Every structure is written in structure tokens, then in C-alpha cells.
Structure 1
Amino acid sequence: MVTRAFIEDTMAYGGQPLPFGGGANREATSWLGTIDGKGVRGFDTREYLRNGFLRYSDNGSATIDRIEVIKGPTSVLDGVTSPGGVINVITKKPIPNYDFTRLNFVFGSPFDRIVANFDFNKRLTPNRAEGLKATLRLVGGYEESGYLTEHRNRRLENVMPSLLLEFTPHTLLGIQHEHYKVNGERGNDIRALRTTVTEEHPSGLDGEVPIHFAYGVPQNMSWDGPDINTPEVAKDTLISFQHQFSDDVVFNIDYNSHSRVSNWGPVTFTGSVVEIDEAPYWQQSWRETERDQSVTGLRINLASKLSLKQSEHRFVFGFLGQEDINNWQSQNYLNEEGEIIQQRFSLFDPNPALFAPIPSRLELSPNKRDDTFTQSLYLNHHAKWLDGALITLWGVYDTRLDSETERVNRGEGFAIAPNSEYQSHKTMPQAGIIYSPIQDLGIYINYSQSMQGNAGRFDGWGNSFPETPGEIREIGSKFTLADGKVSGTVSLFEIKETNRVVFDWFAPNRENPTADPNLRRGANVSFGALESQGIDADIHLTPNKNINAVFSYGYKDIEITSDPDISRIGQSTDSYKHKVSLFGKHIWSDGALGGLSANAGLIWKSKRQREADRFGAPSYAKDQYKLQAGFNYSFSFGEINYKLGFTAKNVGKLSKRYYGYVPGTREPYYFDSPSEYLLSFDLEY
């Protein structure tokens, strides 16, 4: 669990060029030992969930109440998910019988960071024992930050009103809507940082070198990417109803609608290095791409409790249905003769053109529409025996997955792959047992299955993939020691996935069937079987009322155990084995330093395997570190509470980025990331 207080202490606002990119949700969870980006225990989740439903967009810092990281069988909410677990962002909801206004301002350097968030909670009706009660909560904010690249920055704006209606103490209705907009900041430097060229070396071995390094171009140059003025817009609506029939029977129904429009343009979609007058030039063509995504979900739960003489039983019967629709439409820039424009400029140009030339016109290219409908019926049973010393659980998930991809060719001269569709039906079990020999120790073992679809994911030639099934086995312990001063969870797990789809940057595709390193390459590939064994631990330390710390450790050994391409069998690439994080906080509650708190955190990731076979042996990236420290001072003046804060991130510039290879070696080029300093000011009244 990542709490709101932890997000504020770490100043996790996201949108940075350090090892935690994306939104605030990704930076906040980067402190957990089992999390890497969107991956849990080495297995990528489809996306971060939001209130239990799929959401494609990141989350702004203003709307997050807490983040749940659910691992093991309990993460299989509906059977259609990653076997590693899920990450679920819980948004802020109205708080009854409490009025407040909270304002948060953050200023940072050297990335010109500005954050301005507001949180307003207000009772709309009198605080009475009977009758309708209504509470409104309005949150939102503005976030802006620069990047290392010259043409890249990020602007995020969002506002989210929520209304809670209490018809009776047992009947509640919640309505929430968010409007979210972020400028198209992703991928601006993809050409400068990921494209490589091959250089010969006196050793006779070739090395893949980042294109900007090979030609002496500054690394902060942008070669590609969306116009910063073209925003991504998302809208989310959540309607929740709960009725408690009795102390033992509760009914819940939740409806969620998520839509996202991301309009990228102009973006280069092909490119290569050409030689003109013995000088290197970059050749690129242009397209604008609009992606329209929507997810509609419905969840219905009926929970009941039953007490017998020697046991207690809890049943949950539920249904979850989600329809996920993705529309892609691209427009290519053509010249007056109807030919796709190929623009060239020198690699040494310090300010490359990021916009298509004029005059030009747009021509529609193939349109792709993915439609996936998932529905699951599930029944869970939890039982307590022997006065709670023994807990058994079992569940059954009956899941149907229907997926269809339709392509429409609206332009001339474009190759088009065939339409595809598939259906899957699977009944998946879940079983577990928890035994507590003493009050502060619980030992558990469990097993479950999972399944996730691969709609909209195709190989380099446009062929679709079937679903990806998974199996999870886990044994662990939950404990409390030293009168509650030490508590935590330690678990051993074994996970297996078959037909797992990943993106391979070195794979051939239709445009580059030989995987020539001088041309754009990369495609989705499917592994025959991927297996992971590991351990994770999350330990909370509270030696006294003024000190608390969280230690998190994750170890995973991931291997491809079977695959049609035998060259891929072995250690999984782009994965580290060990991750350790430690975050501690000291609070001075009284005396001359009353109101002051200090915190510090460290993250270490072990070396990461990049390629399984480079010149006859694996290639690795070095260990990665992240160090940050900060303090806060809280005080009151009149009826207003204030808080001042300061945080230094990437202290000592320990966090580094790596790209390409030094010619003839297995070593990448490493680039420093600067330190960042943040100053915050909060008030509440």
C-alpha cells in the first residue's frame, strides 16, 4: 500500500527524466521492491487500474488517495490480469461530516517544475441523524515540468468533482467525474536515444552506437515526437452504489466509463540515415496519428456472512464486464504530387525541424479498430476455523474473452493486414490456507490461475496473438514482532506464463525483415513459456512514536524455458534480479523542533541483462541507485495549518541512463541525470 502521506513525503509528482517516468502513480510505486514501471514480480500489468477498472492514462498527483499493490491470487479480481499482480489507484472520495480546503504548491529546479493542487471538501446538507446527507469533494491541479531534451516539456491539467449521497446510513450513492489533459510529451527523443548505427572497430567487432553519439550530436537533441501543443485528453466517470441489507449482507454495484484521445502529430514514422555530399543526413517522413480509446466496465458484488458454532463463513458472488475499444487513425503528409514527403536535414543541425513542411496535404492511412469484451463470474468463499487460527479460501472464476480487430484501408499504396478475431473461455480456480499458530504470526500457501488477452498486439507482420494464461504458486508469512514495532510480509513465489507477448527492440518486422541495425527494427514477439521464482518482503519499522521506516526487497529469477526460437531460451532480458528500497522518516513532535520532520530514501537495483548473446556472452547494464532526502516543517497560525517542505532528488547524481554500446564491447554508454531540488508549500483550513 502506498499512502497519500508517503506520496507527499517523497514528492512523487512524476513527469521526470529520472528512472521513474510517467505520472505520479509510477513514481510513487517505484519505491516498492516488487515494482518496476508497470511490472509486478517481473510480469507487466496491462495498465494501472483505477478504482478496480482499466485506465490507459496516468494519474495526476491531485486525485490519488492511495495505491494498492495486490500480489498473488488475491490480485486475480476477475481472472483477466497479469499473474504477478495488479496496481490499483484509489481516487479521493468525499469525506462526510468534515469541511476543509487544502492547497499544495511545488517549485522545482532545474526542470522548471511547477505544481499547484487543490482539495476542497464540503458538506452540502446539515449534519443530522436522519434524512439525506450530501458531501461534495472537488480536487484538481496543474503540473508543469521540463526535461533534458530541448523540445520536450510536460503540462498536466485535471479537475475531479465527487458527490456522495447518504440516503440512509445503509444506502450510499457516489458519483465522480474527472477531466484530465496532458500535453503529448512522450517519445520526443526516441530517435536520438534509441536509434543506433553500426560502427566498425579495430577489433573486427561491430558496435551499436546511439545515433547522436556516433555523429557528435548533443544528447539533449530531439529527433522525433509529438507536437507539445497536441494534448492527450481523458475523461473518467465512476458511479458507485452500496446498500447494506443487514450486518451480514452487503450489495455493491459500480459503473465506470473511461475515454482517452491522444493526438500525436506530426510524428516521423519512417527514417534512416542517408549520405549527401559525404555528410550524414537524417531522412524522415511525417504522419499525424489519433488514438481514441474507451473502456466501459460494470462490477456487481453480493457479499454475505454466516456464523456457525465452530466457524465463520464469508461468500462473495460477483460479475465483472468490461468492453475495451481502441481506434487508430493516421494521416500521412503528402506533397503536391501525392507522394509521401521525405524530409532531410543534417545530423549536426542543433535545432532540427519537428514540424512537417508546407505546402503539404494529409492522406488517410489504414484505420485499425480493436474491440475486446471480457466478462467474468466469480464466487469466493473465506472460512475461519478454530477461533480464527485457521482460514481457508477458495474461488472459481469463469471468464469469457471476445476480441476482434478490424482494419479499413482508406489510402492508396498501403499494405494492410487481414482482420482477426478470437474467443476464449476458461474456468480458473483459486485455493489457499492461512494458519496462525500464535496471534502475531500467520503462514499461508495458495494457488491460482490467470488469463489476459492480447487484443491490438501484433507481430512484425501484422499477425495477432492468442491469450496469455498464467499460474501462481505462493507461500509466505505475515508477522508482527516487538509489540507491534516490527511488522511485515515475506513470501516465496513461482509464476509461469505461456504465450507471453513482449516488445523486442531487435526483432525483424515487415519494413525491416532482416533486422538491419541501420534501419528501424523491433516488433512484438511471443515467448513459449516464461517462468519466475522469487522472494519479496515488505517490512514496517516503528521503534517509537517519532520514527518510522519501510524496507522493501524483491528478488526474481526470470527465464524463458521454452520457445520456438531456441536463441531466446534462457535468462529473460531487460530484467534485474534484486531490488532494495529503504525509506525512513523522523518526526519531532514537541520541544524546540516540534513540527519538524526529516526523511531519506535509497533505492538499489542490481545489474540488468540487456542481451542474452552479444559477441558470445550476455551484455549487462550496471547497478542503478537513487538517493533522495528532504524535510518538512508544519505549524499553525490562527485557524490555518501550514507546511513547508524541501526535497533533493538524485542526490550525488547516482542515477544514470544508458543507451547503445561502445563499439566492439558489451558496455553501454552512460549518461548522467542531474539532481533536482523541490520546494513545497501547503496550507489547510
Structure 2
Amino acid sequence: MLSEFTVQADPADSYTASETITGSRVAEKIRNLPYTVNVLTSEFIEDFGFVDFGDDFAYTSSFGGYDPGGGSANVRGLAVGKSLRNGFLRIGVVDRGNIDRIEIIKGPSAAVYGEALPSGLINIVTKKPKEKPGYKLSVMGGSRDLVRTDLEATGPLGTSKKTTYLLNASFLEQGYDQPYAQLRTKVLSGVVQHKFNPTTTVSVELEYIDRHNNPVAYVPVARRTVGGTYNGRLATEIAGINWYGPAESTDRTVTTLNATFEHKFNAVWSMRMAANWFTREVSSRNSNVTGGAAPTYQIDGTNAGRLIDRLPAYGTGEEGGAGFQADLTARYWLAQHRLENRTLLTFDYSRYTRTDPQWRAAAGTALNNSGFARIWDPRNPNYTWPTPEAFPTLYTLNRWNDNRTDIYGLFLRHQTAAWKGRAILVGGMRYDFVKEDLKRETEARLGTGPVSRLQRDQDHFTPNIGLNVGVTDSVRAYVNYAESFFVNSQTNTAPVAGGTVDPVNEGGFGWDYGFKASLLDEQLTFTLGGFYIVRQNIRVTDENGDSRRVGSILSRGVELDANWAVTPTFSLLFGGGLNNAAYTEAGQDLDQVGRQMSGVPKESGYLALRKTWKSGRLKGLKVNFGVTYTGETKPFQDRGGIVTTLPDGRRVVASHSGYRDIVIPEYFSTRAGISYGWKPRGSRLNHSLAANFTNLLDDDYIERSRRVVEPFGASLTYTVKY
């Protein structure tokens, strides 16, 4: 009855999903959409033993580098600065414990939720309560002090079956091959849902996540002293050393409250209203803040064999937000039941606030007397952290912003299906009114200047139109055009008093096109498509040294995502992509134009196999294997440019110091798992024992994030369900 807003679950053992709400805001068959949406199910996440989502979480085309702490990712060669949680803004910090699925909408069509980069959005969809009582306890242990515990309970609340609940609790602690690096996450979430009748439902969800991270150190660049140039390589000689030390850390806590009301008036009209509130507190200590530069490893001269320009900094911050969505949808037929129509009208509102004070030591300060070595020698490490309490004069306020962004949106979407669904035409228009209130308090708190405040209003119109046509009964062709805008409320700040102001926000547009197929009696399904995306109004430095929004990036490519159920017990998940993403306009930086975006491989691919035994002596056994391929990448793009002043006074970057030629070679990442499930005769308990393995060949390589891959790892998980 509530299918307009509720995605129907696929079979319990499915790695794929046939429906989505991301991109359309209502439940739709993925094969009928005129753009690409990928879904990663909780079954897939658990079977492959993912405990934290990172570089290795790349089992979908043109997607990688997901940061579960900050929420950033890379889709189609471009950044995705924000993610969603059940359709609402979420600034990172996720855990698998209460995730039902991860939906990735690619391209500018993600603007149906408001501001978004033209690359797309990630929507984390959480689990819902069930009417049948169920309980689950899972305990995991493994290499490098890995410990994880998950507890889940669901069912009716009280004697009435109209009210159900879901409770999730998780704890994760994980070490790494590098010393001092550690991750610890604690999660507690609960959902209560009440069904007044088959047409009306209300649910309330509360989630708390606490995440502590001592990071793994990336591999720095090797630097020559003579001439201050780089030799075009990474300092692999110290690749296994965690030069951060034990004090480098980031703590994040997030509390989220969400309430949803759904009602179906009749066979035509349905409504959903949802409200969301979240707050995120961040506390960090780091030692690689040097005014935008990064520590470098000296390979000659006085400091040969040492890492230089490490400076301590610490900061606190608080982010928060609130949102409201009201969706009204109508489903009706015209032309004597020959045209099926779906119309959606949405009003939404979101608020984002951020306060981010940071203190850091000044560049060039002699810090050895405070116990912190600016010049660090891995042969004689000194990890003592100069605490703000012990050395208050060492730290100077570097940043204090207090910002708020409010966005009011109105969205109209209409879909018409003709010839029994053979042709589906979709069109939409979104209007957003953006209010920014940005305050820069740094100079005022230092006593060197006044508070700088920027208040401005902007509006954005972002249309989209798409067509999905059945070429045959099994193959559908699609084409889609969409536009997007991006406020970048996380980093937008007021300028120094008297400074220039960017007149516009970022924008973008893009095309999606290709084929979606269901062959061999729907056992083989795939999407093969291309994309053409332009990101506009990027802030760059022009030839006069001014910061202006005149930059642009073009991303083009081809993608394949496929699932093949070869037999009822053996299936394949495979795909990959070719991606060419580069600046087409970069202001004064002429050398950057045409270079592949940093950290983005031109080629990538993945393959996942699964075999189950549902009868016979091996009944209950399941094995899986996965491999991802990451092509050659260049980690640096905006560093190492050498500025040259032309005779007419213009300043351009026509060459570089070697940074931009550094290459991370291609690599394969492998993992596998085996599990066995059983239910004793006469018992209500289902048991399973699973072993998962990572880096099966114990390969030694550097990932595109510049971090050294973890050695071979193994974990063992015991799960009991009622």
C-alpha cells in the first residue's frame, strides 16, 4: 500500500537490488530510470567482511575512495563532497551495523535533493523494523587486533502488532600494520514504527555514532634540497613508518533524529512528510599542517633521510543541520488507460551550520624545545606532542568561522509511460533559494581586525529530462540530461574584511546514455552506458593572482555494471569503467589543463563470485571471492606548479617541479570468504561461522590514497539468529 515511498526488499541472499528511491524520491524500478543508480546491499557488505568502507570498497563502476569519517568520495572522476542518510544531508560517519543498502546515484540528477556536485550523491538507507520478532548477535575477531560486535533486535513492541521496533548496537576496534594507527567506532540506533492502518505509517529513528581514529600515515614525497625540486617519486623507503606518531587523532560524534509520516489517501494520491536533525562534534590533533603544504622527505643535503615541515595543530568544531521534506505524489492513467502518469511535487528545507576554530604553530617556528620536532628523523623518532596546556604560546589561532546556510527547495517531477511501459518520459524542474550567513571571526579574536560577515541570497533552477525506451522485451535504451548546483557550505567562508566575494556558486550539467538489459530469463542483468559531465564555476587563481570562479572540469567515460545468476546457487557481479576527467579551464595554471584528475584512474574494474549450497551434504556452505582493479593514478594535480611572470605582468603556471609526474602503479585488491550456517534440529536458533580474508597474495603496493596496503589479513565471525 505504501510502495510509492517504500523500496521492496529483494531476496535475502541477493547482492543486487531491483528498486531504488534515490534520484526519483519515490520507489522506481532501476531498469526504468533514464540514468544510472548502483546499489550495494547489506548482504554483500557482510559476506565480504567489510568492517569500514575505504579504498577497497569499489565494487561498482567509477566509484571509489569513500571516506566513512568525512563522507567524501569520488564518483566518475569528480568529488562527492556530501552524502545523504535516508534522503537527508549527512556529513560522513557511517557504520555498517544499521545499513540496509547504499545507493549511489551518478550524475547531476542527484540535484533532486538540492545542492549536489554534478558527479552524483551517496544515499545511506538504514534498516527498518520487521513485524516478525528477530534477534541477532555477531562477534568478529581477526588480524591486527580486529574486534567487532553487532547486536540487533526487531519485532512487535508490546502486544500490538501495529507498533514495531528495531534496535542496533555495534562496536568496532581495528588496528593496522603501521604502529599507533587505530580505529574505534561505537554505534547505538533505534527505530520505532507504528502502522495506524494499511495506508498510514509513522516512524521515529534515533542514532548515535562515536568514531575515534588514529590515522595511517600516507607516503610522503621525496624532495631534493638542491634547487628545492622534487624527483618525481614517493618516499617508499619510509612507507611503513607511521610518522604521525601516537598523538595524531580525530574524534567525531554524530547524533541524528529522524521522523517520517506516510499516508496513502486513495489509489491516486500519496503523501510523505519527514523531518531530520543532526549534530556532529569534531576534535582533531594533526601534525602535517604547514599552510597548505605537506611534509616532504629529504633525499639529500643537511637533512637527508629526514621528514621536514611537520607542524602541530589542533582544532574543535561543531556541525549541525535540520531538514524537512514534504512529498506529494499522484499515480493516474490517461487516454483510456494507455498512458500511466506519475507526478511528484516536493517542498524541502535544509539548514547547515558550522563552527570550526583551529590553532596551529606558525611555519618556521623552532619547536624542538617544546618536545616536537619540525624536522623528524625516522631513525631517531621523537613523537612527543606539545599539548596546548603545556605550551600555550606555541599555538596561534588560525581559523574561526561561524557559518549558516539555509536552502528552500521546490521540485516538480512528472513521468509518463506509454505502450505498456515500452516508452517512459521523465521531466523535472527544481527551484532552490539559498541564504548564506557567513562570519569570519579570526581577526577579531586575534585583535587584528573586525568580524567579517557575508550575507547573500541566491536562487538556482536545475532542470532534468530523460527518456527510457524498450528496444526489445529485454533491452532498454536511456538518455538523460540534468543540471546541478553546489553551495559548498562546508568550506564557504566570509572573506577578510574588504576582500572580494565570489559572485556565484558552483554549477554543472551532464548527459547519461546507454542500455539496460535483462537477458537469459532475467538471470543476466546489466547497465552499459556513457556519461559526459561538466563541473563549472570552480574557484581558481587567475593570471592577476585573484581568486575567481572561472574554472571548469570535463569528465567523460563508459561504465558497465552487471549481475549474472549463472545457476540458482552460483552468481557473478562484475563491471568496470573508463574515465577521462580533467580541467578544461584552470585560471593561471596552464600546466594543469588536460591532466587527469588526481587520484582518479582512467581504468578500473571489479569481479565478485558467490557459490552457495542449498541441499546435500554441503547444505549451508557459502564461498565468495572478490577482486578489484585500479589503474595507474597520479596523486597530485594542484601541487608543484611553478609560477612564471610574463613580460606584460601576467603570472601563469606553465611548468611544474615534478610533483605532477608522480605515478602510483596499477594494482589488484583481493578478498575472499567462506561461511557455514546450520540450525540444530528442534532449535529456533540459526548459527553461522564465517572466515574472511583480505589481500590474499600478501601483495605490497601503494593505494591511490598514497597509503600502503595492509598485509594479508583474516577474520572469524560467529553469528547466531533467532
TM-score (norm 2): 0.80
Deviation at 1:153, TM superposition (A): 0.7
Q: Map of 1:589-628 to 2, 5 A cutoff?
A: 589-610=614-635, 618-628=661-671
Q: SS state of the match for residue 597, structure 2?
A: coil
Query: Using a 3 Å threshold, how does the CA distance of structure 1 residues 205 and 282 change in structure 2: closer, same or farther?
Result: closer
> Cα deviations across residues 169-225 of structure 1 (Å, max 9, x unaligned)?
211110000111011434x636xx346533459xx9742666794xxx673233368
Query: Using a 3 Å threshold, how does the CA distance of structure 1 residues 464 and 59 change in structure 2: closer, same or farther?
Result: farther
CA distance in 1: counterparts of 2:555 and 2:270, whole angstroms: 38
Q: SS state of the match for residue 512, structure 2?
A: strand
CA distance in 1: counterparts of 2:129 and 2:303, whole angstroms: 67
> Cα deviations across residues 73-116 of structure 1 (Å, max 9, x unaligned)?
54332342122221111011211x2101011111111x211110
* Amino acid in structure 2 at the alignment position of 1:434: N
**2:166 is equivalent to residue 152 of structure 1:** no
Deviation at 1:455, TM superposition (A): 2.8
2:52 aligns with 14
* Amino acid in structure 1 at the alignment position of 2:719: D
**2:616 is equivalent to residue 581 of structure 1:** no
> Cα deviations across residues 222-242 of structure 1 (Å, max 9, x unaligned)?
3368555x7321101110001
1:221 aligns with 242
Q: Map of 1:122-271 to 2, 5 A cutoff?
A: 122-126=155-159, 133-186=162-215, 189=217, 193-194=219-220, 197-200=223-226, 206-207=230-231, 213=237, 219-223=240-244, 228=249, 231-265=251-285, 269-270=289-290
* Amino acid in structure 1 at the alignment position of 2:671: Q
> Cα deviations across residues 100-145 of structure 1 (Å, max 9, x unaligned)?
1011111111x211110111002114466xxxx1111100200000
* Amino acid in structure 1 at the alignment position of 2:97: A
CA distance in 1: counterparts of 2:700 and 2:527, whole angstroms: 29
Question: Does the CA-based 8 Å contact 1:624-1:655 persist in structure 2?
Answer: no
**Aligned residues between the structures:** 631
Q: SS state of the match for residue 484, structure 1?
A: coil
Question: Does the CA-based 8 Å contact 1:333-1:356 persist in structure 2?
Answer: no
Deviation at 1:411, TM superposition (A): 4.2
Question: Does the CA-based 8 Å contact 1:295-1:324 persist in structure 2?
Answer: yes
Question: Does the CA-based 8 Å contact 1:430-1:448 persist in structure 2?
Answer: yes
From 426, 449, 456, give the equivalent of 1:393.
426
Q: Which runs of 5+ in 2 are unaligned?
A: 1-38, 66-72, 638-654
2:7 aligns with none
Q: SS state of the match for residue 380, structure 2?
A: coil
Instruction: Provide the identity percentage.
Output: 19
From 310, 334, 349, give the equivalent of 1:321.
349
Q: Map of 1:87-98 to 2, 5 A cutoff?
A: 87-95=122-130, 97-98=131-132
Q: Map of 1:285-300 to 2, 5 A cutoff?
A: 286-300=312-326
> Cα deviations across residues 547-592 of structure 1 (Å, max 9, x unaligned)?
1111121221112222322222112332211111010100011111
Deviation at 1:384, TM superposition (A): 1.1
**2:130 is equivalent to residue 99 of structure 1:** no
Deviation at 1:623, TM superposition (A): 0.7
> Cα deviations across residues 374-417 of structure 1 (Å, max 9, x unaligned)?
22101000011122211111111111222232111354377899
Query: Using a 3 Å threshold, how does the CA distance of structure 1 residues 681 and 530 change in structure 2: closer, same or farther?
Result: same
Question: Does the CA-based 8 Å contact 2:700-2:708 persist in structure 1?
Answer: no
1:518 aligns with none
CA distance in 2: counterparts of 1:605 and 1:102, whole angstroms: 36
2:19 aligns with none
CA distance in 1: counterparts of 2:213 and 2:494, whole angstroms: 26
Q: Which runs of 5+ in 1 are unaligned?
A: 21-26, 514-522, 661-668
CA distance in 2: counterparts of 1:376 and 1:459, whole angstroms: 23
CA distance in 2: counterparts of 1:61 and 1:672, whole angstroms: 22
> Cα deviations across residues 408-437 of structure 1 (Å, max 9, x unaligned)?
135437789944344321212111111113
Question: Does the CA-based 8 Å contact 1:57-1:234 persist in structure 2?
Answer: no
Question: Does the CA-based 8 Å contact 1:197-1:210 persist in structure 2?
Answer: no
CA distance in 1: counterparts of 2:539 and 2:710, whole angstroms: 31
CA distance in 1: counterparts of 2:609 and 2:689, whole angstroms: 19
CA RMSD in angstroms, aligned pairs only: 3.5
Further displaced range: 113-122 or 278-287: 278-287
Query: Using a 3 Å threshold, how does the CA distance of structure 1 residues 207 and 364 change in structure 2: closer, same or farther?
Result: closer
Question: Does the CA-based 8 Å contact 2:370-2:391 persist in structure 1?
Answer: no
Structure with the larger strand share: 1
**2:719 is equivalent to residue 679 of structure 1:** no
CA distance in 1: counterparts of 2:285 and 2:547, whole angstroms: 23
2:521 aligns with 483
CA distance in 1: counterparts of 2:148 and 2:486, whole angstroms: 36
CA distance in 2: counterparts of 1:569 and 1:368, whole angstroms: 32
Q: Map of 1:245-644 to 2, 5 A cutoff?
A: 245-265=265-285, 269-270=289-290, 286-308=312-334, 309=336, 310-331=338-359, 343-345=371-373, 347=377, 348-356=379-387, 359-361=390-392, 365=397, 366-409=399-442, 411-412=445-446, 418-457=452-491, 466-500=504-538, 528-565=551-588, 566-574=590-598, 575-610=600-635, 618-637=661-680, 638-644=683-689
Question: Does the CA-based 8 Å contact 2:691-2:714 persist in structure 1?
Answer: yes
CA distance in 2: counterparts of 1:630 and 1:207, whole angstroms: 41
* Amino acid in structure 2 at the alignment position of 1:33: S
CA distance in 2: counterparts of 1:277 and 1:442, whole angstroms: 63
